[in-house]
Amino acid sequence: MNFFINFFSKDSTKRVLLFTAIIVFFYKFQSIFDLFLLTFLFSYIMNSLHGLILSRFKTVTHTKENIVTIILYILLFSFIVFVIVKYIPKLVIQTKSLIDYFSGFQSSQGSNSDIVQKYLSSALSQIDIKSYIKSGFTVSLELASDVGKWSINIFISIMLSLFFMLEKKDIFKFIRKFKYSKVSSIYNYLVFFGKNFLNSFGKVIQAQLLIACVNTVLSVITLSILGFPQLLTLGFMIFVLSLIPVAGVIISLIPLCLVAFNIGGLTKVLYVLIMVAVIHCIESYILNPKLMSSKVKIPIFFTFVVLIVSEHLMGMWGLLIGIPLFMFILDLLDVKIHS
């Protein structure tokens, strides 16, 4: 009996139990998981921009803070509306065009005298590439059918993050009242989790977004020089896949190499491989050390295991946040993975 009393009275045990309870809560209420993550991402990014801008002012007043916040959210709303109106229709059209573009594999075989290229063309002709791409596009259409739900979640998330930014000081003041209440022990543990969450998960997500933006810009510029079609669709694909560590590079290589082979044969495929290798080196040796407080070293085996498990548990979100969440858990367990 004393063993159980001592066991459950330990801080480490209480932290594990509370963390487990939080995981179970979000698993049971998966419908609000999207809303929570989107709100956190918008709040974290806007708060970082907000702090960066205010650091330029010599004197910061409450009025200045609110003005900067409102301007930032006006720009955010304007950007979202601009993307929806101008680029989403183009994205749909280019995606359909890219599907039709893959049908050129069958017609292009035998057009080149290169034996290896003929063999590859013959092998590719045995695979109904167009049907696979169409099936993937069907899945995309099914996801697009939930655009109403996503639009509502994004709108609510932005509004929640806006209210958080405008009332940030009052919110923290209100939360601190729980420190001296009957649930003070739970409050202390939640504060501990919150700080670790921001220091590990938040920073890694921010770094991943910046790295994805740089990768996308460099890739699109290179692909335009190489004469690739449907750059908007390819750029969007590269950006999303760049958010997935390690696996994203491998996944993006498949459609890029197929398009390259269709428009320029093995030479263009070689150019794509060189492009991806160079960008990956820039990411690994320049961007990661600059954007992360220290370079994270997780073996590729564990990276794939985490991605597979997190995708099974959380779907698409798991691919995007699986590694940051894994790092957060390691941080809680005080596992030293930084060099």
- Between the two ends of the chain, the Cα-to-Cα distance in Å is 43
- What pLDDT is recorded for position 112? 45
Position 274 scores a pLDDT of 92
What residue type is assigned to position 38 of the chain?
L
The pLDDT score that the predictor gives to residue 139 is 44
| pLDDT for residue 114 | 53
One pLDDT digit (tens) per residue for the chain, 339 residues: 666 666 556 766 777 777 788 777 777 777 777 788 889 889 988 998 898 888 887 777 778 888 999 999 999 989 888 887 877 777 667 666 666 665 555 445 444 445 555 555 555 555 454 454 444 445 445 445 555 566 788 889 999 999 999 999 899 899 888 888 888 878 888 888 888 777 777 777 777 888 888 889 999 999 999 888 878 878 888 888 887 776 777 778 878 887 888 788 788 889 989 998 888 888 777 776 666 544 456 777 777 788 788 877 777 777 777 777 787 777 767 776 655
Which residue type does 162 have? L
Structural domain for 262, as ranges: 2-332
Would residue 339 count as lying in a domain?
Answer: no
pLDDT of residue 161: 94
The residue to which tokens 């594999």 are assigned: 105
Give a yes or no: residue 306 inside a domain: yes
Tell me if 89 is assigned to some domain. yes
Which residues partner with 296 through β-bridges? Answer: 338
Q: Would you say residue 337 lies in a domain?
A: no
> For residues 46 and 165, is the Cβ–Cβ distance under 8 A?
yes
Q: Is 216 left (phi over 0), alpha (psi -120 to 50) or beta?
A: alpha
The rounded radius of gyration (Å) of the Cα atoms in the chain is: 24
Counting DSSP H helices and E strands in the chain, the numbers are 17, 0
47 assigned to some structural domain: yes
Q: Closest Cα to residue 332, out of 37, 28, 30, 14?
A: 14
The pTM assigned to this predicted structure is: 0.71
8 Å CB contact between 294 and 339: yes
The answer to the question of residue 155 being in a domain is: yes
Euclidean distance between CA atoms 93 and 75, whole angstroms: 27
How many structural domains does the chain have?
Answer: 1
pLDDT at 123: 53
Which residues contact residue 252 at a Cβ distance below 8 angstroms, ignoring those fewer than 6 apart? 237, 238, 241, 242, 276
